Amino acid sequence: DTGVSQDPRHKITKRGQNVTFRCDPISEHNRLYWYRQTLGQGPEFLTYFQNEAQLEKSRLLSDRFSAERPKGSFSTLEIQRTEQGDSAMYLCASSPPGQPYEQYFGPGTRLTVT
């Protein structure tokens, strides 16, 4: 059984550049979530999708952030004009139909903005 996968695992970028992360959920999981974790903190919710619809966005998700889930399969999270404060671990999770309160997490993408 393949788990949640994320790509890339690590990304180093210069301030001002755009970056895009990908998340592939567990097959047939209809809900997909993005969280961000900064050093020494617990993960914080960013946004989630049910199928292809983006249903909730946190106030943490500034205008520089955009997430998509075309066709309700994989999802991408793009950060435009990166800032040093964007350096964090970006975690993706998915949950199966009828079980939204049981999320399975991927390995995360660690972003470093220099």
Partner 1 sequence: KQEVTQIPAALSVPEGENLVLNCSFTDSAIYNLQWFRQDPGKGLTSLLLIQSSQREQTSGRLNASLDKSSGRSTLYIAASQPGDSATYLCAAYSGYSTLTFGKGTMLLVSP
One-letter amino acid of 96: P
* Binding residue for partner 1, selected from 1, 2, 14, 42, defined by CB under 8 A: 42
In order of 15, 33, 50, the CA distances from 30 in angstroms are 34, 10, 6
# binding residues, partner 1 (CB under 8 A): 26
* Binding residue for partner 1, selected from 32, 67, 88, 91, defined by CB under 8 A: 91
The residue ranges of DSSP E strands in the chain, in sequence order, are: 5-7, 10-13, 19-24, 31-37, 44-50, 53-57, 65-68, 75-79, 88-95, 104-105, 109-113
With contacts defined by CB under 8 A, name the span among 16-24, 36-44, 60-68, 72-80 that binds partner 1.
Answer: 36-44
Give residues 54-73 in contact with partner 1 (rule: CB under 8 A): 55-56
Residue 45 vs 80, nearer CB to partner 1:
45
Q: How far is the CB of 80 from partner 1 (least distance, A)?
A: 24
* Cα–Cα distance for residue pair 15/4, rounded to 1 Å: 29
Residue 41 vs 73, nearer CB to partner 1:
41
Query: How are the residues of the chain apportioned to helix, strand and coil, as percentages rounded to the nearest 5?
Result: 5, 50, 45
| Contact between 94 and partner 1 per CB under 8 A | no
Record the tokens describing residue 4, joined without a space. Answer: 């949640």
Summarize as ranges the residues that interact with partner 1 (CB under 8 A).
Answer: 31, 33, 35, 40-45, 48, 55-56, 89, 91, 93, 95, 100-108, 110
